[in-house]
Chain A
Amino acid sequence: ETGVTQTPRHLVMGMTNKKSLKCEQHLGHNAMYWYKQSAKKPLELMFVYSLEERVENNSVPSRFSPECPNSSHLFLHLHTLQPEDSALYLCASSQGGAKRVDTQYFGPGTRLTVL
């Protein structure tokens, strides 16, 4: 247990569905991250929030919409996804905010399958 939880752990959705992924960190950290991990590809950083403000958006399609209501919670809202979006979505947090060189701790991930 790293102190970062994610729900759901598995999600199957159709291309027309709307769903949300949730991440919660119990570490008192100030920065939270969404990553995508596809087979045979490196972990890809999607979004970074520092002190609840989005500080990075790595050219992610608009069908992915992040939300960070407070420093402990992070959501990824999904709509009209494509089958190629099927992947493991990982949330991470770090202590000092995204501008500091801090270790990131990962949640268990959500395995997403888009039919």
Chain B
Amino acid sequence: QKEVEQNSGPLSVPEGAIASLNCTYSDRGSQSFFWYRQYSGKSPELIMSIYSNGDKEDGRFTAQLNKASQYVSLLIRDSQPSDSATYLCAVIRGGSQGNLIFGKGTKLSVKP
């Protein structure tokens, strides 16, 4: 079982819609969760971090964490074409030295 799993997509949504990106992880002791956005040919940039169960909102982005289900998601409201990118879910395992384990990423395409 992969440590961090994401649907590779592409996920296509119309402009203005809500994009929902999902991620599951295998290590129940995982403690920290991150969403990175990566444009084609560029390096990852941090979008959101979340550490406790529930929702965390930052502008148009909402991260949701459910540790019991080992599930973390990212919602993007009012999606824009500029949101088109690959979104990487990353997890720090329990007992780890702070090292990130990444999923393969979900490619999002927002159509005008």
Measured CB to CB, the residues of A under 8 A from B are: 2, 31, 33, 40-43, 45, 48, 50, 55-56, 88, 90, 94, 96-109
Contacts and interface: CB of A to CB of B under 8 A. Distances in A.
Nearest to A48: B99
Contact of B99 (A41, A45, A90): A45
24 contacts: A33-B99, A42-B4, A42-B102, A42-B103, A42-B105, A43-B44, A48-B97, A48-B99, A50-B97, A55-B97, A56-B99, A88-B43, A90-B44, A94-B98, A97-B98, A98-B98, A98-B99, A101-B32, A101-B92, A105-B46, A106-B36, A106-B43, A109-B42, A109-B43
B17 interface: no
Contacts of B46: 103-105
A60 to B, nearest CB: 14
A108 B100 CA distance: 18
Nearest to B3: A42
Contacts of A109: 42-43
A103 B43 CA distance: 15
Interface of B: 4, 31-32, 34, 36, 42-46, 49, 51, 88, 90, 92, 97-105
Contacts of A2: 43, 45
A103 B34 contact: yes
Contacts of B98: 31, 94, 96-102
Contacts of B103: 42
Given A98-B99, A99-B98, A106-B36, 16 more contacts: A2-B43, A31-B98, A42-B104, A43-B88, A45-B101, A50-B97, A90-B43, A97-B98, A101-B31, A101-B32, A101-B51, A101-B92, A102-B98, A103-B34, A103-B46, A106-B44
Nearest to B31: A101
Nearest to A31: B98
B100 A98 contact: no
Contacts of B36: 106
Contacts of B99: 33, 45, 48, 56, 98
